Structure 1
Amino acid sequence: MFVTISEFKMPDVGEGLTEAEILKWFVQPGDTVTDGQVVCEVETAKAAVELPIPFDGVVHELRFAEGTTVDVGQVIISVRTGADADAPAVAAVVAEAAPEAEAAPAARQPVLVGYGVSTASTKRRPRKAAPAAATTAAPVAPALPVVPAPTAPVLNGNGSNGYGGHGQAGAERPLAKPPVRKLAKDLGIDLAAIVPTGDGGVVTREDVHAAATAAAAPQQAAPVSAPAAAAPAPASPAEAGPAAALVAPGARETRIPVKGVRKITAQAMVSSAFTAPHVTEFITLDVTRTMKLVQELKDDPDMAGLRINPLLLIAKAVLIAIRRNPDVNASWDEAAQEIVLKHYVNLGIAAATPRGLIVPNVKDAHAKTLSELSQSLSELVATAREGKTSPSDMQGGTITITNVGVFGVDTGTPILNPGESAILAVGAIKLQPWVHKGKVKARQVTTLALSFDHRLIDGELGSRFLADIAAVLEHPKRLVTWS
């Protein structure tokens, strides 16, 4: 009989990230796991990511509790592997082999993307006696519970059914996607108490919202679309974010840990604001013809099934303006003291999510047709709303669009994403009095604001670029004549 304790370290899931927060464990000590099975969900500074275990065995110890931020390279879970890993007698074998004191930690060895397998190790933390009920929570010290029956059949090849159903057969763990589980956790809602309405018995975001509404209604302290709060709440709990669930009755202050997306966004914005010399220019324009074209495209059979909105044509106008002014699509290499001209456009679209602002980008947007661009933007938005944007989707952007108009805001002075040359803020499109063909008429009007890095773009180039964007939107036939 032999058994080995194999350890799985926090991998670098984002090409250079140094830490991640454990959002949810999908297994507990004593659970049987298989190679490729997702064992936990972590939140990096950029996105939520599910981590698969790279070997078979029985969970021996969860090293960190949910909500803990862990450095890349630290062991997060240990698994009993080997021919007799799942034998009932293994608990006694491991107990006899356990040292009285914790072994000195090994040197930190970051694991690269791909979740490389760490070598077998016998170092363990001091063994602590714990009641059987302790297996219902993520322990910090090792536990040796009775090994349960093997796991249920794999549904998608990696030990997961795609909705977080990673537990043992008969455990009846509610089915829900990781973003929905995160939302429920933020709002303090027990998924097991929710009656699912999704296909196949899956708990949906709407189910969680309904449960939050029902829980808040008896207190009469919040509108039906949000949990109880001391101040007017946003339209939905998802928009309110985790803070909405932290407000205690009668509290005068609430402190929210800055981590994950919000932490990295704050650091990036401070770095950008105090590194790149920002200049912002504005232009107000008549987009009545563009709005008419949006409606015509919606009615066009060739565009059926595609998401057509003003942002699509604004994005296309930006791409055309870049083609006419290629020097705006650049970055500043401080180390080499060089300007790097990009011959491709990875177009970023700022997206507000419950975790904070993220800016995924459409790769090689310059090479896409209008219909292809529409499809890419739709996928980008849908992925962001589900909390499934990957770190790679947020890397390598060259120029960004942020649509503040969806909030009814006229314009703003956006801060550059680090490493990018410009960012365009699009204001609300409103009916306003406008001089058209010598007469004052009600026209669809908006304001654009372009912030750019003055090391890369001087006033003339920035003005021409912004004017070209406006010219295309005022006369959208230029989408064809300037292409």
Structure 2
Amino acid sequence: RRGAPRAAGRPQRRAVRRGATTVGAGGRSGATASDTAVLDAAPHDLVDSAPPLDVRHERPRSTPPVRQLAKQLGVDLALIEASGVTGVIRRDDVERFAARMAPATAAPVPQSGAPLADGRHPRTTERETRTPIRGVRKATAAAMVRSAFTAPHVTCFLEVDVTETTRLIAGLRADPRLAEHRIGLLAVAAKAVCLALRAEPSLGSSWDDEAGEIVTHHYVNLGIAAATERGLIVPNIPDAEQLTLPQLADAIRDLAAMARAGRATPASLTGGTFSITNFGVFGVDAGTPILNPPEAGILGLGTVRRQPWEFEGEIALRDIVTLSLSFDHRLVDGEQGARFLAAVGDVLREPGRAMLFA
């Protein structure tokens, strides 16, 4: 129900293994307070055993013919906003959404067991299951193919000592005035990205092939990659650069809840200018994130590991994370990409540096 408390929609975090220490949502074992602080209710960690945000939510209002059309087009009605004042989803709402999500839609996929356009039948055997490619999965695949074969990707990496950031997060979480915001590493990284984009605006630009123009955006619609049961989606936070750290944390939490419940709106899935993907919640150190077209950059956030590190001339246990930045080399030169990544790393290494950008 729509009146359900917000807390019910937060994803349950799975335990993350760090060496011999396992830290879960309920506590810690043999770890410091800063270790617990780096665990984040990230939208990318959505597919787990926890119940959805609203398991008893109302079915979207529509007529039987419209529901049948949505089924044929592989469209989830929960993702569609009604255009009329009545709140009833109409045929043109479904067709418009399907056109936006999958411009090159193939023939509609009938119900399971019915023949497809080429005569094939969806089926499950003892050894395999064949599932029609449709809906969010089809739209995501099309977007990723366009990205991989249109934009020349370059990825660079940076290891950062984020011990001061994890201490900051632990302190903020201990503050009763900020308890409801649940600030984590993803929110701090989002803030660092917004600040770094001021110095390197090319990372927030896009390539308009039809107009033959480079579009430099003077705002940040920050996409947060979210893995859902329907597939990967990247809803974005409009004008993220105008938000404070607590507001960013709230916006990320709300995106997670919305994506988890299958209620991401078409507006939230378009118009992004830069994205973050948090594969660190799966225990992965680094990767080569693929761009979310037509954006020029995407930052991958790895897992935080406590490991020996050179600090002030000695070896000490520090919290280390690897940042992975992929960018479109048509829009961003290597020097610009390196400076952007270094700026994000500087903020995470010394959060006080954010004062220089304010």
TM-score (norm 2): 0.69
Change (3 A) 1:337 1:441: same
- Whichever residue aligns with residue 422 of structure 1, its letter is G
1:338 matches 2:213? yes
Q: Report the counterpart of residue 170 of structure 2 in structure 1.
A: 295
Q: Distance in 2 between matches of 1:439 and 1:311?
A: 29
Tell me what 2:197 maps to.
322
**Distance in 1 of aligned mates of 2:65 and 2:332:** 51
Query: Which residue is equivalent to 1:68?
Result: 71
Aligned residue among 269, 283, 296 for 1:394: 269
Cα deviations by residue, 1:184-212 (Å, 9 ceiling, x for unpaired): xxxxxxxxxxxxxxxxxxxxxxxxxxxxx
State the one-letter code of the partner of 1:345. V
Measured after TM superposition, the shift of residue 302 of structure 1 is 3.0
CA displacement 1:353-394 (0-9 Å, x = unmatched): 111111000000011111221221111111111111111111
Change in Cα spacing, 1:310 to 1:437, as seen in structure 2 (3 Å) is: same
Instruction: Note closer, same or farther for the CA distance 1:64–1:441 as it changes in structure 2 (3 Å cut).
Output: closer
* Distance of aligned partners of 1:342 and 1:62 in 2 relative to their CA distance in 1, 3 Å threshold: closer
Post-superposition Cα deviations, 1:318-373, rounded to whole Å, max 9, x if no partner, equal: 11111121222111010121111100000000011111111000000011111221
Distance apart, 1:433 and its partner CA: 1.3
Distance 1:63 1:51 in 2: 10
* Residues 274-293 of structure 1 mapped to structure 2, 5 A cutoff: 274-293=149-168
TM-score by length of 1: 0.51
Paired position in structure 1 for 2:289: 414
- Residue identity in the other structure for 1:309: G
Letter in 2 for 1:399: F
Runs of 4+ with deviation above 6 angstroms? none
Unmatched 5+ stretches in structure 1: 1-39, 42-49, 54-60, 73-111, 117-156, 160-245
What corresponds to 2:143 in structure 1?
Answer: 268
Q: How does 1:71-90 map to 2 (within 5 A)?
A: none
Paired AA for residue 353 in structure 1:
T
Equivalents in 1 of 2:67, 2:176: separation in Å? 54
Question: Structure 1: how far apart are the matches of 2:205 and 2:67?
Answer: 43
**C-alpha distance 63-443 of structure 1, shift in aligned 2 (>3 A):** closer
User: Which has the bigger relative contact order, CA under 8 A and spacing at least 6?
Assistant: 2
Conservation of the 8 A alpha-carbon contact between 2:73 and 2:135 = no
Count, aligned residues: 263
The counterpart of 2:341, out of the listed 466, 469, 476, is 466
8 A Cα contact 2:183 2:246, kept in partner: no
SS of the equivalent of 2:180 reads: coil
CA–CA distance in structure 1, aligned partners of residues 176 and 67 of structure 2: 54
- For residues 240-295 of structure 1, give each alpha carbon's deviation from its aligned partner in whole angstroms, at most 9, with x where no partner exists: xxxxxx996x8211111111111000000000100001000001111111100110
- Tell me the C-alpha RMSD between the 2 structures: 2.6
Alignment of 1:83-98 (within 5 A): none
* Equivalent position SS for 1:335: coil
In structure 2, C-alpha distance between the alignment counterparts of 1:464 and 1:158, rounded to whole Å: 48
Deviation sequence 1:5-57 (CA, Å, 0-9, x none): xxxxxxxxxxxxxxxxxxxxxxxxxxxxxxxxxxx96xxxxxxxx3445xxxx
Asked if 1:255 is matched to 2:130, the reply is: yes
Deviation track 1:39-76 (CA, whole Å, cap 9, x = no partner) reads x96xxxxxxxx3445xxxxxxx758759831499xxxx
Query: AA paired with 2:321?
Result: T
Structure-1 separation of matches of 2:330 and 2:228: 32
- Whole-angstrom distance in 1 between the partners of 2:147 and 2:65: 38
CA contact (8 A) 2:204 2:273 kept: yes
Q: Deviations over 1:293-317 (max 9, x none)?
A: 1101101233131121110101011
Rounded to whole Å, the distance in 1 between the matches of 2:273 and 2:254 is 19
Structure 1 64/342 Cα, relative in aligned 2: closer, same or farther at 3 Å? Answer: closer
Q: Alignment partner for residue 362 of structure 1, among 237, 243, 248?
A: 237
Query: Which amino acid in the other structure matches residue 83 of structure 2?
Result: G
Q: Which residue of 2 aligns with 1:14?
A: none
Can you give the 5+ residue segments of structure 2 that lack an aligned partner in the other structure?
A: 1-57, 76-80, 89-121
Q: Does 1:479 align with 2:354?
A: yes
Give the Cα–Cα distance (whole angstroms) in 2 for the partners of residues 289 and 375 of structure 1: 22
Could you tell me which residue of structure 1 aligns to residue 280 of structure 2? 405
Deviation at 1:456, TM superposition (A): 0.5
Task: Give the whole-Å Cα distance in 2 for the aligned partners of 1:318 and 1:252.
Answer: 46
- 1:99-110 to structure 2, matched below 5 A, reads none
User: 1:204-240 deviations in whole A, cap 9, x for unaligned?
Assistant: xxxxxxxxxxxxxxxxxxxxxxxxxxxxxxxxxxxxx
CA spacing shift, 1:362–1:65, aligned 2, 3 Å? closer
Q: Which has the higher helix share?
A: 2
Tell me which amino acid in the other structure corresponds to 1:358: I
Aligned pairs for 1:129-278 (under 5 A) are: 251-278=126-153
- 1:301 is aligned with what amino acid? P
1:431 and 1:302 map into 2 onto residues whose CA distance is 29
Equivalent positions of 1:50-65 (< 5 A) are 50-52=60-62, 62=65
Instruction: Give, in angstroms, the shift of residue 472 of structure 1.
Output: 0.6
Match in the other structure for 1:119 = none
